[in-house]
Structure 1
Amino acid sequence: MYLADEAWPDLEAYFESETLAIVPLGSTEQHGPHLPLATDHLIAEAFATEVAERTGYLRTPTVTIGVSPHHRQFPGTAWVDPPAFRDYVESFVRNLTYHGIDRVVFVNAHGGNVQHLREVGRRLRDDDVAYAIEWMWDESIPDLVDEAFARNGPHAGPKETALIQHLRPELVHDDRFAEARDGGAPNPEESVRVRNGAATFYDAVENSDNGAFGDQTDANAETGAELFDAASDQLEELCEWLAARDWDELRAPERVSREG
């Protein structure tokens, strides 16, 4: 069920019977010379839509702008400052709690959002109003992702390329795969700037001239479909698990005492 497509009487019926919502979040930022700026939020929305259709749980509109200042040197990248992002997402979830939602799955496809979504989740649980957890597709199937590609990459690499080939092939510049690999960071572990245990970079361009990491020539739509199905299974199981929890199981634990 997609919230924005429904009339309010139908949503009233949902809120009377269910307490879980799926919130997709991503970014609008550079993804190398071969993928659209929409890559992250397209991926997040696709997973959220798939699992909402499988389960009947409510999917909200997608948050398409995230915390992306580390990609700002590339034309078109959009971002919001971290405090604004956290406050916006928290306010949005509190709106959902007004209607009866008390558990949320953040279907997130942008690494720059992770720590901020975790912070929002902590705020909401500490206030005893909602239990919100962050989910990323590749973290749910790490072995499959590792086995699928010889040279993966954390950003604009073959895993994201394969997913967009599967989901929105018309937006992929297949003829630029070699350019993305050769002008970027085909071996991310060798390109990331670390000195004496400290990361000596803040922006993606400091590690990759064109913003891409890994070997994009290894990607294909068939692998993207396999990864999408496997990760969708994981998200479906997570939603069902969370929906089945008693609220007392989700509350913050009491303060520890030596007495017992």
Structure 2
Amino acid sequence: MYLGDEAWPDLESYFESESLALVPLGSTEQHGPHLPEATDHLIAEAFAREAADRTGYLCTPTINVGVSGHHRQFHGTMWVDPPEFRQYMESLTRNLTSHGIDRVIYVNAHGGNISHLREVGARLRQDEVAYAIEWMWNDSIPDLVDDLFEQNGPHGGPKETAMIQYLEPELVHEDRLEEARDTGVPSVADADTVKHGSRTFYDAADNTENGVLGDQTDATADKGEQLFEAASDQLVQLCEWLAAQDFADLMPRDHV
């Protein structure tokens, strides 16, 4: 069920019987010369809607702009600063609880959001308001990602390229895949920005002149479909697990 498609009287029965919501999040940021700036939020929304369709759980509208200041040197990147992002996500989640939602899955497709969503979830749990957890699609299927690609990126690499080739093929500049590979770098290690154990980079531009890493020519729509189906299965199982838990068991343990 997609919340934005429903009239408010028709949502009453859902909130009476269910307490779980899927909140898709991504970013609007550069993904190299070959992928759209919408890459992350397109992927997140596709997963959330797929899981909602398969389970009947509620999917909210997508958060399209995230913590992306580290891509700011590239044209068109949009971002919010971390404190404002955390405040927004906490407020949004608390507002969902006013309708009876007490467990939330942040269906996330942007690495820059992860630590902030974890912080929000921890605060909500500590206040015993809601149990909110972050889910990142590629983290749910690491073995498959490694099997499909020699070098998966991470940013704008073959795994994200394959996903958009499958989900939104008309948005992929197929004629620029070799350019993306040849003018980027294979990995952070190849960028030589880790010095004596210190990560000396702060921005994507510190590592790669075109904004991306990996071998984009290793991506295909068929690989994207495999990734999407496998990760969707994981998200569905997570929904079913979370819905089956007693809320009290999800809350912090008492002091020893």
Q: How would you bin the TM-score normalised by the shorter chain?
A: over 0.9
Residue matched to 2:68: 68
Residue matched to 2:16: 16
Residue matched to 1:85: 85
Q: Give the TM-score normalised by structure 2.
A: 0.99
Residue matched to 1:200: 200
- Deviation of 1:187 after TM superposition, in Å, equals 3.6
Find the aligned partners of 2:185 and 2:218 in 1 and give their Cα distance. 14
Residue matched to 1:233: 233
Q: Give the TM-score normalised by structure 1.
A: 0.97
**Secondary structure of the structure 2 residue equivalent to 1:210:** coil
Where does 1:81-160 land on structure 2 (aligned, <5 Å)? 81-160=81-160
Question: Could you list the per-position Cα deviations for residues 117-156 of structure 1 after superposition, in whole angstroms to 9, with x for gaps in the alignment?
Answer: 0000011001101000000000000000001011210100
CA contact (8 A) 1:188 1:214 kept: no
Moved over 6 A (4+): none
Can you give the 5+ residue segments of structure 2 that lack an aligned partner in the other structure?
none
Can you give the 5+ residue segments of structure 1 that lack an aligned partner in the other structure?
none
CA contact (8 A) 2:154 2:187 kept: no
**Secondary structure of the structure 1 residue equivalent to 2:180:** helix
- Deviation of 1:84 after TM superposition, in Å, equals 0.5
Residue matched to 1:168: 168
Percent identical: 70
Find the aligned partners of 1:183 and 1:68 in 2 and give their Cα distance. 22
CA contact (8 A) 2:102 2:131 kept: yes
Residue matched to 1:27: 27
Question: Could you list the per-position Cα deviations for residues 50-105 of structure 1 after superposition, in whole angstroms to 9, with x for gaps in the alignment?
Answer: 00000000000000000000000000000000010000011001110000000000
Question: Could you list the per-position Cα deviations for residues 8-53 of structure 1 after superposition, in whole angstroms to 9, with x for gaps in the alignment?
Answer: 1111110000000000000000000000000000000000000000
- Deviation of 1:190 after TM superposition, in Å, equals 1.7
Aligned residue pairs, count: 256
Find the aligned partners of 1:88 and 1:45 in 2 and give their Cα distance. 19
